[in-house]
Amino acid sequence: MTEAVQNISQPQIEAENLSLWYGEKQVLKNISIKIPRNSVTALIGPSGSGKSTFIRCLNRMNDLIKNCRVEGKVLIEGKDIYAPDVDVVELRKKVGMVFQKPNPFPMSIYDNVAYGPRIHGVNKKDLDSIVEQALRSAAIWEETSDRLKSSALSLSGGQQQRLCIARTLAVKPRIILFDEPTSALDPISTARIEDLITNLKKDYTIVIVTHNMQQAARISDYTGFFLSGELIEFDQTRQIFHNPQEKSTEDYITGRFG
């Protein structure tokens, strides 16, 4: 790790010796990482190396899996999110997530975006502006403003994914986790989501799991390389791609395995 990364002060996200088991099987091994605010961090590595499991630790999505055990710490804005007094609903509001396959609810475009704010008790009169703002920020307002009452399922895959991003933004998170958000999309929709992520980083801290090395190089400031449950290397993206310190990182990014 270069000094620039070791010296990240007041990280927005920090894991300290994080390990995770599914039953007997250890899937994450002593992960330590510091992620600064208003940055995009890409996590790369072969299939099964633990990238998705790691990001799901950041908003305790793994709580939903039986037999899952976590050791170590995850601090979000300095607070241990596995401490007993943590309100997991509030945590997931602060740390939003966008999945690989667009998963809009089978309801209208408007109701998809209003869903979270309604649950969190937002006043009805404020909803219209929250929905509009979220759709604008997710770069899908122009395409949907005249059909807000139409079913979200009538949108294309790429539009559905931007709608899902709008749904995440509507509850005003601080951090957004993206788990391979473009792997089900065509190149044009992928480019739109990449532009969107680049724009969002001025207001949010973003962590993205991707199998697409060019995507990691294009949009991220920092990159972490996972292998067999270990974080092998974490550094500024240009370091990882131009001057990796570990041979396995170099082998992976040059396509020698994985």
Ligand X SMILES: Nc1ncnc2c1ncn2[C@@H]1O[C@H](COP(=O)(O)OP(=O)(O)OP(=O)(O)O)[C@@H](O)[C@H]1O
Residues that bind ligand X (CB under 6 A): 22, 27, 45, 47-53, 65, 209
Question: Given the complex with ligand X, which of 37 and 211 has the nearer CB atom?
Answer: 211
Least spacing, CB of residue 153 vs ligand X, in Å: 25
DSSP 184-208: TS-HHHHHHHHHHHHHHTTTSEEEE
Assign 104 to helix, strand or coil. coil
Least spacing, CB of residue 80 vs ligand X, in Å: 22
- Number of C-beta neighbours around residue 79 at 10 A: 12
First to last CA, the chain: 23
Question: Given the complex with ligand X, which of 51 and 192 has the nearer CB atom?
Answer: 51
Least spacing, CB of residue 66 vs ligand X, in Å: 8
Tell me phi and psi for residue 130, to 5 degrees: -65, -45
Least spacing, CB of residue 231 vs ligand X, in Å: 12
Least spacing, CB of residue 98 vs ligand X, in Å: 14
- Edge-to-edge strands, sheet with 25-35: 25-35, 13-22, 68-76, 79-80
Least spacing, CB of residue 46 vs ligand X, in Å: 7
Tell me phi and psi for residue 200, to 5 degrees: -70, -20
Q: Mutual orientation of helices 157-169 and 124-137 as an angle, nearest 10°?
A: 130
Task: Find all residues with CB under 8 Å of 54, minimum gap 6, and list them.
Answer: 15, 18, 28, 31, 43, 226, 231
Question: Given the complex with ligand X, which of 99 and 141 has the nearer CB atom?
Answer: 99
Question: Given the complex with ligand X, which of 22 and 105 has the nearer CB atom?
Answer: 22
Question: Given the complex with ligand X, which of 67 and 129 has the nearer CB atom?
Answer: 67
102, 160 Cβ separation under 8 angstroms: yes
CA within 13 Å, CB half, 104? 26
Question: Given the complex with ligand X, which of 65 and 107 has the nearer CB atom?
Answer: 65
Q: Is 258 exposed, middle or buried (0-12, 13-18, 19+ CB in 10 A)?
A: middle
204, 173 Cβ separation under 8 angstroms: yes
Question: Given the complex with ligand X, which of 12 and 210 has the nearer CB atom?
Answer: 210
Least spacing, CB of residue 182 vs ligand X, in Å: 14
